[in-house]
Amino acid sequence: MADLNALATSGLTLPSPAYLFGLIFFGIAGYAAYRYGKKAGLSRPRWIGIALMLYPYAVSETWMLYGIGAGLCALLFFYRE
């Protein structure tokens, strides 16, 4: 517990469980989209899959993680064929 307090005083915090769940969920969805696009020979689902796998590294807020992820999943739905 002292280690967590030391991290907090230095300005570092651990992500929330909701953030970790979103990170894993959108990463798996991105991998599935990439594999689908690669197997079907479609470039848009492949690039959306790459975006779904990589954008969580640039986003630190949980609400932004879910908002951008939902938007990318909606794009994937419309560009699946």
Inside any domain, residue 3: no
Q: Is residue 1 part of a domain?
A: no
The answer to whether residue 39 sits within a structural domain is yes
pLDDT given at position 31: 96
In a domain, 10, yes or no: no
pLDDT tens profile 12-39: 777 889 999 999 999 999 999 999 999 9
Q: How many domains are there within the chain?
A: 1
Choose between 81 and 40: higher pLDDT: 40
pLDDT tens profile 43-81: 999 999 999 999 998 998 899 999 999 999 999 998 877
* 44 Cβ contact partners less than 8 Å away, ≥ 6 residues apart: 37, 79
Q: Which domain holds residue 29?
A: 16-78
